[in-house]
């Protein structure tokens, strides 16, 4: 993943919100997730389906994709703990937040969260992170989940 920085002072771009009114907005602090405090993130929970989404705008500083990117992180919250969503559920969630044209980029071994990115710039939609070609892809869940080293 390219270097990420955050900046509240520069951005008027808001994180994505779900289209459906069933979602509950939940406050979230980026710091426990290892993100800079300056990144604005919003948490969303679907009480019926138990999906938890963190929606943020992050700033890629290096490479041809430099600039703001939407970032959505998906998981399911159950009494047993956090669970990974399937690829089909992730497609539904991407539609809920209007993030078509995004790409998945995970960097946590055995992670329970799926991370999706898309540039804010329309002329760059479809460009993937350089790590997609240069880092080893590890497949889990019979190939349904990929993370990179």
pLDDT of residue 38: 56
> pLDDT under 50 in the chain at which residues?
1-10
pTM, whole model, 2 decimals? 0.78
- Model pLDDT for residues 27-62, shown as the tens digit of each residue: 776 555 555 655 678 899 999 999 999 999 888 776
C-alpha–C-alpha distance, residues 70 and 58, integer Å: 6
Domain membership of residue 56 as a residue range: 4-148
- How much is the pLDDT for 111? 83
Cβ atoms of residues 53 and 18 within 8 Å: yes
């Amino acid at each position: 993943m390219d270097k990420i920085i955050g900046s509240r002072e520069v951005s008027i771009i808001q994180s994505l919100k779900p289209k459906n009114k069933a979602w509950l907005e939940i406050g979230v602090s980026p710091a426990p997730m290892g993100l800079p405090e300056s990144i604005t993130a919003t948490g969303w929970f679907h009480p019926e389906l138990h999906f938890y989404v963190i929606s943020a705008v992050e700033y890629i500083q290096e490479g041809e994709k430099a600039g703001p990117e939407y970032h959505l992180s998906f998981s399911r919250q159950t009494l047993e703990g956090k669970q990974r969503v399937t690829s089909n559920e992730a497609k539904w969630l991407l539609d809920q937040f209007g993030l078509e044209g995004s790409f998945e980029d995970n960097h946590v071994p055995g992670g329970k969260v799926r991370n999706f990115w898309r540039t804010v710039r329309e002329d760059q939609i479809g460009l993937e992170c350089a790590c997609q070609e240069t880092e080893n892809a590890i497949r889990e869940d019979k190939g349904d989940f990929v993370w990179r080293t």
